[in-house]
A and B are shown apart, each in its own frame.
Chain A
């Protein structure tokens, strides 16, 4: 179905991640938060797949599920030809070096009692048999690669600014020569003038080391800059996936259209001309999604069928996938 001319490094098929809700005196399972509810996509070798959506849509959970930081509810994940969807955590350990993660909050994701050197060295300690000297050299190389001054190796993370801390997190993710990195909102906590620095660094490293990224973000204009293809999530499902240019120029799904029109345009003459699609109401709870299409409660183009039948996610135009009844020729 999703055959691509280039090789898919990561294939995700119908992955679900439901978190149980326990309540009552006996803490019985009374429901589930369907954070990720059946997503299917490929990440092609060397590309950056942007994953966008609003808070609570399940994009971070999806990123973590793909790396098997969770035990997923169901589905298949193939990483470089190896199926890891149901592999027990103990056996996943050998796979960890090739798949890494950069977290959103560089304040919280770095141990404040470890020096920068120790933080970047930790994956080497865990997964390699390098000598102390080799490790020191590798750490210094990594610090160079991400633009940190080697002289600061003995300092603690709190001595660094937000942008520099994110560089430390990136250096740690690179330590084991990974192929695939999930970047979970890597720039959301940074100032505008620093965001560009980190994004440029990620692009340079991708070229230098041949990395493949899953870039999770709510910042659509930044995703347009960095991503090769973009997937849009809403309430646990991918509603649309297409090449960057197609998605931003000719989106199909009504949610994608609304999301794009809501982004403030940094140009006053444009900003005041464009017709905004203002969505009414809020996102429903993922523990109790509406019947039929998840977006039916807010969709400006809702039809009767949308409240009954869930639309299938399929390739509507070449390389453009969407899940919407508007594009089902019946």
Chain B
């Protein structure tokens, strides 16, 4: 949507490894993306594809060791988040960058009231007085659609249902008017009708507050409904980047097209048999030297086994990390 806007967040060449007894696991391998003001970037991938680790790396949330950020640059607000002090990073987190995690039960503290948990970032980051923070907390709860907000400030997380708890998490994330909101599978633990409520709330809030959002999910249906652009992750790499309509109508990476075929739809033609991607997602141990999808790919070529595919541009804002899109390979084949 907001074409030509300057990126608020620019991630280049991010590499994160975990040192384990079985060797170095390359969880994030040379991931680059940017996020423009006001847009929603969807990040899709299966478990272990590196989507959460990417976001935690750029927020400095990973335990180090075992994690180690090998390379990369994360430009936000004129500074490189990978280089700033822990103190400064703490000011950014929860302040200018808000985040919402998957499980609303474990990410809220059960022994503090909801009100005090919303007030915490307000007091820490904005230096509000207790009284001002209470007023703002109430407004935030109203903003995310919790009825009877004033009274509910004194309730504890267990007194809220799953959907309501996720609304509280969103209220906390929005407390300091963030420029960027990172939401990691925020609706995965919720039922579909509750998920629909949260998705609608999110759209409303984006229109009202104009923040940029990174939405991590494994659900292509959710992506189709809310994203402007999409990054598909597999085996620690961003294997395809595209505007959402382009991704669904013209997927270029074999993984993306296979994934789109495996999911049944509730409308349209019903396939007699589901298309299957054989095999398992990989665990990348050691420096990757080949395409992570090679072993499950029906179109694998010899080159896929000896080189990590770089990103080849397909069209406007659309690229894919697959040798099938390599102009040289196409020349060879032709």
Using a CB–CB cutoff of 8 Å, the interface residues on chain A facing chain B are 54-55, 161, 163, 191-197, 199-200, 203, 218, 220-222, 224-225, 248, 258-272, 276, 278-279, 282
Contact = CB atoms under 8 A, between A and B. Distances in A.
B283 to A, nearest CB: 10
B225 A263 contact: no
A218 B195 CA distance: 13
A282 B195 CA distance: 12
A225 B192 contact: no
A262 B248 contact: no
A282 B274 CA distance: 33
A266 B270 contact: no
The 6 lowest CB-CB distance pairs between A and B, nearest first, are: A264-B221, A54-B191, A262-B196, A196-B274, A271-B225, A225-B264
Given A192-B218, A199-B274, A278-B196, A161 B280 contact: yes
Given A259-B193, A270-B267, A225 B274 contact: yes
Given A225-B271, A263-B221, A267-B248, A55 B264 contact: no
A55 B189 CA distance: 10
Interface residues of B, number: 46
A265 B197 contact: no
Contacts of A263: 192, 221, 266
Nearest to B219: A264
A266 B265 contact: yes
A248 B270 CA distance: 11
A266 B195 CA distance: 15
A267 B224 contact: yes
A259 B271 contact: no
B143 interface: no
Best-surrounded residue of B196, B244, B248 (most CB of chain A within 10 A): B196
A192 B259 contact: yes
Contacts of B281: 191, 193
A192 B46 contact: yes
B200 A221 contact: no
Best-surrounded residue of A161, A261, A263 (most CB of chain B within 10 A): A263
5 contacts: A163-B280, A248-B266, A259-B193, A278-B197, A282-B161
Contact of B222 (A191, A195, A264, A272): A264
Given A266-B265, A268-B244, A268-B248, A193 B200 contact: no
A264 B259 CA distance: 16
A266 B263 contact: yes
B195 A262 contact: yes
A236 to B, nearest CB: 16
B275 A196 contact: yes
Contacts of B118: none
B270 A55 contact: no
Contact of A268 (B196, B245, B273, B274): B245
Contacts of B248: 266-268
Interface string B109-131: 00000000000000000000000
Contacts of A279: 193, 196-197
Interface string B268-304: 1011011111101100000000000000000000000
B263 A192 contact: yes
A307 B220 CA distance: 38
B267 A248 contact: yes
Given A161-B280, A192-B46, A193-B46, A224 B270 contact: yes
B163 interface: yes
Given A191-B281, A199-B274, A203-B273, A264 B225 contact: yes
B159 to A, nearest CB: 12
A266 B164 CA distance: 26
B258 interface: yes
Interface string B227-269: 1000000000000000011001000000000111011111110
A265 B267 contact: yes
Given A196-B275, A197-B276, A266 B192 contact: no
A270 B195 CA distance: 18
Contacts of A224: 264-266, 270
Contacts of A220: 192, 266
A278 B275 CA distance: 32
B20 interface: no
Given A279-B193, A282-B194, A265 B274 contact: no
